[in-house]
Chain A
Amino acid sequence: MRRSDLRDGAVLARTELRAQARRIAGNRRQLVGVVVGVLSFGLLFPLTFLGQVLSFGNALASGQPPLSRFGTVLASALTIGLYFGGATAINQSRVGAIGPLVRTSIPPGAVVIGRFASESLQAMAFVVVPGIILLGMLAVGAGTALPVLVVALGTLLLLLSGLVVGRMIGATIRYVGLLSRLSAWGKAIALIAVAGSVFVAFQAAIPMIVGTSGSSSLSALLPGSPLQAYASVVTAPLGATPQPLGVAVVTIALAVIPVGLAATLRIEGAFLFDDRADQSDDVQDESRGVARLLAMTPATRVAWRYLLRTRRNPKLVSHLSMVLFGGLAFVGSLVTEPSLLTTLGPGAAIVAGGVLAGATYCLNPMGDDRDQLPLILTSTASTKRLLRGRAIAGLLVGGVVAFGISVPLGLLDDSLLRVVGRAVLTPLVLAGAAGTALGIGAVAPKFQRREYMNVERAHPSTIGMLSYFFGTMLVVAAGLGLLWWTVERGQLLWAAVGWAVYLAVLAAGGVGGYAYAVRRFDRLTVDDL
């Protein structure tokens, strides 16, 4: 690598960091979010470990460093590094659209270095404040500076190694995705299959690690305790006896930085000038008429277009990956407890359907259509038609999941009465969920594009999405509980009161959310973007 590459990379990193800082400073909501995040995570998080850190500092200064505890700290640092390295490689977030300028102005190596530095610094910014505070607390516990220096250097090395290796793995995954000739849905399904397999395998491995005693052991997760051995080398100045394995781990940690960087430079450098990502195999000559079932009204025809677009481009629903992770957690639980499939499965399917009914198309209705707003706002007297179309499309997606899984599973091992009860409850909760999601999308619309799961678009608000997910889970669970109580206890009067309240809540969320969204978006102007 040439010196000029480093210099150009530094210029690029500095410019991107400055642009990002100005973007945050120029957006009050984002600025408040960052400040609250830094304060809550940066200050509160370290304070929750005050006792342990003071005692750890004290133990480090005692002449017999606690290698096991230090190993846990190092494992955390390594995990953070791997995660941020991988995430920044896969989610290549950039400010502005200066890619072509950058690629034609400075060498590929400089571009990769600049991007790596700027993205890593942005990602790690949240770790800096808690890290400094934790080190300060450690200094108080130790009463001397040397343990702080040792811990800082030892942790930083593993953090950097993790960052570089994570970046290399992330870049490889990204590049393999680019080279594969799979369709967009094929790639999405492959990614889900890989993530699901890893997750389920991990869930399956937990009982073997924990054993029957129920107490987990970190050393069981880390055969040969390499991180403890690494800790013995790092804390040698504090009195620990260095282990040979530790020397090997330190050597590897030092070596992977240049090796990983070189590999990342090659992979990402090649990626910069590979235009295969632009050559989609999915683009085929075809015009599809509206399915007969959805040809009835303009709103249903609009719904069909959203479904068709999603069929052709799964990136439109990339924000649903959060739901996917929740689903994987349930699938993982099935590995250890298969009976959950018939006991909790039907209810879980309705929860998933409820979440999908609103989350698929309703959580950011206008932001999602931001590039088409000049057409929409000058074509429709009211946004009602569009919002209804989105809700109908979401209800169809959620309905397929809820009915398609819940009814067959219920018929396997449940009373017919409960199956019918759930089938009656399902459309009500789905409709309430879709309307509520539209309301949330109107309260917190997002018009700015950002990168998430390697997809750059106006994703729904994260807070709105989380509120909706957990709120829907809670409301659907309450409905299922009420259904169980009604069927099992048979106290009709109280059941009627319960259902009246429950349906009122659903209607308030659903109808209220929809009405608010219509009112808000009918007044939307380009100035609001």
Chain B
Amino acid sequence: MAAISTDGLTKRYGSTVAVEDLALQVPTGVVYGFLGPNGAGKTTTMRMLTGLVEPSDGTARVAGTRSDDRRQLVDRIGLLPEEPPLYEELTGREQLRFAADLRDIPFEQVRDRALGLCDRLDLTEDLDRRVDSYSKGMGQKTAFVQAVQHDPAVVFLDEPTSGLDPRAAKTLRELIVDLAAADTTVFLSTHILPVVEEIADQVGVLHDGSLVAEGAPGELIGSVDQTDGDADLEDAFLALTSERGEAW
């Protein structure tokens, strides 16, 4: 069964179409790289899939439940939005406990997993500092742990490596791969194409609200490669998103 499936998913804001007739099939336990230029509709798609925004048309199912059924959905997903949703006045540890309380999960139940993640992300020593004293990267790490500490079936990550130093970014990439290995589906939106090329099993490219290409990174690269195998995902991305851009 697909972890994420959409059928004719559309979002309009007045006369502006943000996402149009999107059909996705993301298998369970993969890292799905979701790419697109600024304003392509990636964040809107992610919001529809997580129930933060209602679609204008079409349906979406995530982890076997409809995305507009928030009661069922919340137990199965985790979200790291572009801006980490943290309370500045709480410490990192208090924030993680708060997130567990929101889900009605005793923190003791997720403590080992949460602290293990913090340890790998080199965050443990800072957990008792208040979030308003955190750097952007530390906030990002805390929000990542918050999004996955309850072991969700599907995780949505919007620019997860934003603000992270190279070491932390590498650890996060490894964590994402580990999540997928443990059968968690990771829906990864980022502009850092080498990251997607390295860890994504499948890639979808969104342009002007429509899915213009989908497949394994190698397939996408092969589909546009007119050189001798020197092309990479960046070349594929530019080729896939420039044709329509030039039509403007």
Contact = CB atoms under 8 A, between A and B. Distances in A.
Contact of B71 (A290, A316, A374, A381): A381
B94 A378 contact: no
B87 A305 contact: yes
Contacts, number: 102
Interface residues of B, number: 40
B74 A379 contact: yes
Interface string A307-330: 011001100100000000000000
Contacts of A33: none
Contact of B102 (A285, A308, A386): A386
16 contacts: A284-B130, A287-B93, A287-B127, A308-B90, A309-B90, A312-B130, A316-B89, A373-B85, A375-B146, A376-B102, A379-B102, A379-B103, A381-B74, A525-B51, A525-B53, A526-B52
A378 B146 contact: no
- The majority secondary structure among interface residues of chain A is helix
A385 interface: yes
Interface of A: 280, 283-288, 290, 298, 301-302, 305, 308-309, 312-313, 316, 371-382, 385-386, 522, 525-527
Contact of B98 (A285, A305, A313, A522): A305
B3 to A, nearest CB: 16
Contacts of A386: 102
Nearest to A527: B53
Nearest to B132: A283
B93 A525 contact: no
Contacts of A313: 88-89
Closest 5 pairs (CB-CB, A-B): A375-B85, A309-B89, A379-B102, A381-B71, A374-B81
Contacts of B77: 378
Given A287-B128, A305-B94, A309-B90, A372 B74 contact: no
A526 B70 contact: no
A464 B208 CA distance: 41
A113 B119 CA distance: 51
A380 B89 contact: no
A302 B102 contact: yes
B85 to A, nearest CB: 4
A316 B75 CA distance: 30
A54 B129 CA distance: 66
Contacts of A527: 53-54
Contacts of A379: 74, 99, 102-103
Most-contacted residue by chain B among A309, A371, A372 (CB, 10 A): A372
